[in-house]
A and B are shown apart, each in its own frame.
Chain A
Amino acid sequence: MVILHSFRSVGVHLLRQATPIITRSGRNSKPISKNLFFLFFSSSPKTFLLKPRAASSEKNSLVFKGDERVVGLLGKVDDAFDNVDRFQSSSTIVAIVTPIGGPPGAVGIVRLSGPKAVEVAGRVFRSARKRRKKKSNDSDSDLDLDSWRPTSHFVEYGVVVDSNGNVVDEVLVVPMLAPRSYTREDVVELQCHGSEVCLRRVLRTCVEAGARLAEPGEFTLRAFLNGRLDLSQAENIERLISAKSSAAADAALEGIQGGFSSLVKSLRAQCIELLTEIEARIDFEDEMPPLDIDLVINKINSMSEGVESALDTANYDKLLRSGLQIAIVGRPNVGKSSLLNAWSKSERAIVTEVAGTTRDVVEANVTVRGVPITLLDTAGIRETNDIVEKIGVERSETAAKVADVIIMAVSAIEGWTEEDTELLHKIQSDKPMILVMNKIDSATSDCCDQLKDKSKKEEVFHKSVFTSAVTGQGIEELEDAILEILGLDRVPTGGHQWTVNQRQCEQLVRTKEALVRLREAIEDEIPIDFWTIELREAALALAQISGQDVSEEVLSSIFAKFCIGK
């Protein structure tokens, strides 16, 4: 009995000596049983001192055991864990690596680097070969994305698509898998068309697919930390880093001034406030009045809206490329075509006194604050038996449907009529609408007043403007109205602030994702603790600071706000 006991204790002792404490979850139980087996049947106990270790009691064993129960759930187990001394970046970064700002080059390159580079690329890239094969089976496309297995250093042709499946650009993809790449991480380069807008859209798609915008010099930094470049080059990197901090300071300074960043700040404050409300209840359960769930949900909804609208504002680059379509609709003979001509300073549309002159959709291009706008002049909408005009009216209605903004023109001479009400019902949608009261030059003030009242009553109109196609009066106001509706009046146009916006845009995309998940969690009636995960993530996305800072902030806020303490 005594012998057996001593055997066991010796075994355990030796084991403790031999097995490094840093074992990954799941492996821990194995060595014990195996070694115990050896213990009883091995003549020389020393044989299972697998890794004799220099007795260094100062070095600690760091223990990060996962949850034994979860191990089965995790798909892939990363074996590099034991090697904690190597540099391993956790994030996947993306940036446009060819120069921008000058005249567009023929080709521009967007580079992804990091552990998830292939995954992100797989999400945005559709190989031309694959597309043909998989066209029939749409529902499986999700599975398809993850399984993009590129051959290293093998160029593939295809397209970049956004999350909705719209083609963004046609690209060549060059995968360079670790360690045979500049950064010694997985690198994927997307060779796109050289225009800035193209590149930015591809960049944004990558960000939406899970990559993070690279800091200045970050590729080089990673290359250095992973053993590339020689020591003399390191000093250059150090310089880059200090430049980074001053750039960050610049950016912060700029941020303070921008209305955009105050929005980000207020969103973050709201996240913290909600976290405070929820966390206080969790940590001090019996001391707090119950949580007003409806209020929380309302706040979350309004935050989501705020983020969405801010993102729309950040969509400036998208607008720059594709521009806007604005449909001018209205009853016959209210001056739609004259408006188009006056605005585009051309004689694009035929203008007569005869109602129903315009039979088809007429296009004209104007530029408002750099945004290309396509104006669609449409046939006046009315009940008609004329076959040609009938088709024209149908086309008008279609034009109103596809346009980004609808301008409804009415005649200031006639004022608001029954037909106008009918027409409004027909074309009404959730798109922004502007009421243009044309022919102001020859209208009576009574009519104007009536129209003013009307435009105030009808809430569907975001704006109303008096114009005169003849004198050109009101066109400028109309342009302002459009910019305001699209939120473009707040978008800075200077070149430097672009980058700031790009970053904020990234933050907003992350926030939006978190909020979408949060709303799903609420809909699925997941307990409130899970809400905090998403709220934390949103708060983190909105300010690139560490997680503990959020915890500390929430705690301070709890103690400041609530009377806690039993």
Chain B
Amino acid sequence: MSATTTASVSLRHLRSFPCVIPSLFSFSSLPLHSPRLCVFLRRNFRPRQLFLHRPHAASFSSSPGATSDSNYDVIVVGAGHAGCEAALASARLGASTLLLTLNLDRIAWQPCNPAVGGPAKSQLVHEVDALGGDIGKVADRCYLQKRILNVSRGPAVRSLRAQTDKREYAMEMKKIVESTENLYIREAMVTDILVGKNDNVEGVATFFGMNFYAPSVILTTGTFMSGKIWVGKKSMPAGRAGESASQGLTENLQKLGFETDRLKTGTPARVDRRTIDFSTLEAQHGDEEVSWFSFDPDFHIEREQMCCYLTRTTKLTHQLIRENLHETPTYGGWVEAKGPRYCPSIEDKIVRFKDKESHQIFLEPEGRDVPEIYVQGFSTGLPENLQLPLLRSLPGLENCSMLRPAYAVEYDYLPAHQCSRSLMTKKIEGLFFSGQINGTTGYEEAAAQGIISGINAARHSDGKKHVVLERESSYIGTLIDDLVTKDLREPYRMLTSRSEHRLLLRFDNADSRLTPLGRELGLIDDRRWKLYQEKQARISEEKTRLKTVKISGGDLAAEVSNVSSQPVKESATLESLLKKPHVHYKLLEKHGFGNETLSRMEKDCVEIDIKYEGFIVRQQNQLQQMVHQQHRRLPDDLDYYSMTTLSHEGREKLSKVRPQTLGQASRVGGVSPADITALLITLESNRRRSQDVKRGKILEHALAESNQHSAEEEHMVNE
């Protein structure tokens, strides 16, 4: 019965009933005319009986049926932070997804700093979570220490940072990936992209000669594509220390016409916790009241926190470095790829800031049951034999032993102007890039791109429109807009100052900005959606209550006027009290005017909405005004070179970037406001021309018709 109902609904949705379809329909013999149809058929063609053999989802990674299958809806190459989010989002949208990785034991590995969050990055994590992603949940589950940064600097820059247990993190993420329906994982080194006749992706080829097919492929190659690691003058091909690089893919991408370039990044040494004397070091404790990345209260499970420690470079450190500068890749001159400005090596710091006598170094634990300590701020390109003496010049580390040396890694990336904002490449339909391959750095940046490319890859395979987050909507949108629009010369890290509207892109409203979208896309389940709606309802009720409840005099009024040194009116609303400087929701609670049923997060939301209402509304209004013009779409086929009114630089840059909206065009480097005006004029002229042509055709048609009529009439008369 169910089968007949569905059949009448739409063929597209047949896959909800895997057991019946293949037997019911047998149009596999139909000729394949268009790629669209091809996609459609392939999916239905696939033996869906697999589902029958799988009593529950958790077992399917070991299911023998899955590995023999080579047709999927989406293939994700790489299982780092971008790859995992991409694969999870895609699978949850119903696309059968294959996740290929070089090493199954390194899923969601944290090869550098075992931490998640920080300014701007934490907003990314909240946003991914609001869309139903997992980075926040896993970080909440595996934290070693949590701290809120920028506590008193304003709600928009307040951010959460967590030290995480890197092994636990990888294990947790692996568990999630393994237990997600529609998601298959497999070890493989992808060496080529299979491309169809219409410049559309058809699948991937692996080193050992396997082909996997899918209409959407996401590449998240991280530092692995032609990766090369350096310690001093010694180098070897590797994606990370101890893991082989991925060879051959770069060349094949170049053959497809992609432009590639090289970036460099590095990671400091790890030392043995048991050999450090912490007694002299300043300890950094976590917050007593723990905050969370995820908006899902099911993941808010408190655990014991660990300490970080602070040490400093000494005169000896500086002397050692200055004496051995020629031994470092940058100053020795044998590595040219550019490293990030915000992650300078210790030698960079000492050379560039000669006047600074000492630099802060943070010692951070990498896990609960591993002895490794991450030496934050001490990455170096010096040879291994110099690294230990250098580490031992730091107070507390005089007798330390080094577990892993610091190293730098060079890798291929593809300047992201080759992607559109859906993260699909402009050259090959169905091919998506995410993470470090787009020139970013950081787990959070990777996860943010991952979830977007995962969503779009799944939608692409399903013949649906791609989803693009506008710049003003989120840090994710800002990140992707920057990547595909700007000419980036160093690994891109998210910073709060990159957003022009950061007051509107806060941690506390990430859910109210993006969860409705996540719901619409199908990434937010009923339980989560109910939680979200209830939360919003509570917040808005509480705001109404504060607006209506008035107090006159009393202890609260006295304390408010004392704390804020502003007079309190006779009969003031609670809202007006909360707006005063230094008055927080806690104060209302203290005097019994709070609402105990609200969570701390909800109270924060209420307080922020009320306290900064003026600023928020002003920014929102500015945004609304601007958005009209900025979001105006540009046709894909504009010939910028023929627009003689554009400046030469403007023509060149616009042809290269091919922006999707007017706003994006205006952000392309080298495009002046005059260019934008000229562009507007051309668009309007084109519109009128096409309108004239249309009108002409209608007229012609009408004329022809009337002629025909008259001819017919004539004919009749003649008869």
Q: Is the CB of A12 within 8 A of B467?
A: no
5 A–B contacts, CB within 8 A, in A order: A29-B519, A55-B36, A68-B516, A74-B624, A90-B626
Give the nearest-CB partner of A91 in chain B.
B625
Q: Is B620 an interface residue (CB 8 A)?
A: yes
Residues of A within 8 A of B6 (CB): 6, 10
Task: Considering the complex, give the chain B residue whose CB is closest to the CB of A75.
Answer: B617
Residues of A within 8 A of B16 (CB): 6, 9-10
Looking at the assembled complex, report how far the CB atom of B457 sits from the nearest CB atom of chain A, in whole angstroms: 12
Which residue of B is nearest A58, CB measured? B636
Contact residues in B for A238 (Cβ distance below 8 Å):
645, 678, 681
* Contact call B513/A237, Cβ cutoff below 8 A: no
Known contacts A67-B504, A566-B377: A283-B509 contact under CB 8 Å: no
Top 5 A-B pairs, shortest CB-CB distance:
A529-B154, A88-B628, A527-B154, A64-B470, A68-B512
| B interface residues, Cβ below 8 angstroms from A | 1-2, 6, 9-10, 12-13, 16-17, 36, 94, 113, 119-120, 149-150, 152-157, 340-344, 349, 352-353, 356, 359-360, 362, 376-377, 420-422, 459-460, 463-470, 472-473, 477, 486, 495-500, 502-504, 509, 512-514, 516-517, 519-522, 533, 536, 539-540, 581-582, 605, 609, 612-613, 615-617, 619-621, 624-629, 631-633, 636, 645, 647, 660-661, 666-667, 672-674, 677-678, 680-681, 684-685, 688-689, 692
CB-defined contacts of A59 to chain B, threshold 8 Å: 465
Q: Assuming the A-B contacts A10-B16, A84-B628, A563-B356, are A56 and B157 also in contact, with contact meaning beta carbons closer than 8 angstroms in the complex?
A: no
Q: What would 16 more interface pairs be, CB under 8 Å, given A16-B464, A28-B517?
A: A32-B520, A57-B465, A59-B465, A63-B467, A65-B473, A67-B512, A70-B512, A84-B628, A87-B684, A527-B154, A527-B155, A533-B619, A551-B498, A563-B356, A565-B343, A565-B344
* Bound CA–CA A7/B498 (angstroms): 44
Residues of B with C-beta under 8 A to A285: 119, 149-150
Decide if A563 touches B468 in the complex (CB within 8 Å). no
Do residues A525 and B684 form an inter-chain contact, with CB atoms below 8 A? Answer: no
Q: Please tell me if A150 contacts chain B, counting CB pairs below 8 Å.
A: no
What is the size category of the interface that chain A forms with chain B? 35 or more
| Complex: chain A residue closest to B627, CB-CB | A64
Residues of chain B within 8 A of A555, CB atoms compared: 495, 497-498
Q: Is the CB of A224 within 8 A of B377?
A: no
Residue A282, interface by CB 8 Å: yes
Distance of B691 from chain A, by nearest CB (Å) = 10
Contact across chains for A45 and B463 when beta carbons are under 8 A apart: no
Residue A402 lies at the interface, judged by CB distance under 8 Å to chain B: no
Are B520 and A68 in contact, with the CB atoms below 8 A?
A: no
Q: Is B629 touching A89 in the complex (CB atoms < 8 A)?
A: yes
Chain A residues with CB under 8 A of B469: 63
Closest to A563 in B: B353
With both beta carbons as reference points, the residue of chain A lying nearest to B473 in the complex is identified as: A64
CB of A13 within 8 A of CB of B157, answer no
Q: At the interface with chain B, which of A159-167, A241-249, A353-361?
A: A241-249
Partner of B674, one of A2, A245, A547: A245
Write the chain B residue with the least CB distance to A531: B154
A529→B12 contact, CB < 8 A: no
CA A305 – CA B464 in complex, angstroms?
Answer: 57
Find the B residue at minimum CB distance from A115. Answer: B625
A61 at the B interface (CB under 8 A): yes
Q: In the complex, are the beta carbons of A563 and B581 less than 8 A apart?
A: no
**Of B349, B497, B503, B512, which is in contact with the most chain A CB atoms at under 10 Å from its CB?**
B497
Q: Are A530 and B154 in contact (CB under 8 A)?
A: yes
Q: Which residues of A contact B619 (CB under 8 A)?
A: 533
Q: Answer whether A282 and B503 are a contact pair too, CB < 8 Å, given A9-B94, A248-B674, A530-B154.
A: no
In the assembled complex, the Cα of A73 lies from the Cα of B615 at a distance in Å of: 12
> Mask for A35-71, Cβ within 8 A of B = 1, else 0?
0000000000100000001011111111111111110
- Asked whether, in the complex, the Cβ of B376 is within 8 Å of the Cβ of A566, the reply is yes
Q: Please tell me if the beta carbons of A287 and B497 are within 8 angstroms of each other in the complex.
A: no
Q: What distance in Å separates the Cβ of B87 from its nearest Cβ neighbour in chain A?
A: 20
Kindly report which residue of chain B lies nearest to residue A77, judged by CB atoms. B624
* B540 CB to nearest chain A CB (Å): 7
Q: Which residue of A lies closest to B355 (CB)?
A: A563
Let me know if A17 is at the binding interface, CB within 8 A.
yes
Known contacts A21-B520, A74-B621, A282-B157: A551-B500 contact under CB 8 Å: yes
Contact of B631 among A84, A526, A563 (CB under 8 A): A84
Contacts of A66 in B (CB 8 A): 513, 620
A279 at the interface (CB under 8 A from B): yes
Tell me the complex Cα distance, A554–B470, Å: 23
User: In the assembled complex, how far is the CB of residue A290 from the closest CB belonging to chain B, in whole angstroms?
Assistant: 11
Cβ of A286 within 8 Å of any chain B Cβ, yes or no, is: yes
Q: Is the CB of B581 within 8 A of A70?
A: no
The residue that A62 contacts in the complex, of B470, B509, B520, with Cβ under 8 A, is B470
CA distance A101 to B517 in the complex (A): 57
C-alpha spacing A55/B113, complex, angstroms = 44
Given contacts A13-B12, A69-B609, A70-B620, are A241 and B344 in contact (CB under 8 A)? no
- Which residues of chain A from 6 to 25 have a CB within 8 Å of any chain B CB? 6, 9-10, 12-17, 19, 21, 23
Pick the contact of A528 from B153, B352, B612, B666 — CB < 8 Å?
B153
In angstroms, Cα B94 to Cα A528, docked, is 45
Specify which of A55, A61, A90 is in contact with B628 (CB 8 Å cutoff): A90
The interface residues of chain A lying within 8 Å CB-to-CB of B9 are 10, 14, 45
Q: Tell me, yes or no, whether A78 is within 8 Å of chain B by CB.
A: yes
A231 sits at the interface (CB 8 A): yes
* Chain B, residue nearest A282 (CB): B157
A242's closest neighbor in chain B, by CB?
B645
Give the CA-CA distance A272 to B423 in the complex, in Å. 33
A260 to B460, CA, bound (A): 56
Of residues 76 through 112 on chain A, the ones whose CB sits less than 8 Å from some CB of chain B are 78, 80-81, 84-91
Q: A64-B473, A530-B154 are in contact. Are A21 and B2 (CB under 8 A)?
A: no
Complex CA distance for A325 and B685, rounded to whole angstroms: 56
Q: Are A563 and B359 in contact (CB under 8 A)?
A: yes
| Contact among A56, A221, A533, A547 with B677 in the assembled complex (CB-CB below 8 Å) | A221
Chain A residues positioned under 8 Å from B520 (CB to CB): 15-16, 19, 21, 23, 28, 32
Residues of A within 8 A of B473 (CB): 63-65
* A 550-566 contacts with B by CB, 8 A: 551, 554-555, 558-559, 563-566
**Chain A residues with CB under 8 A of B632:** 84-88
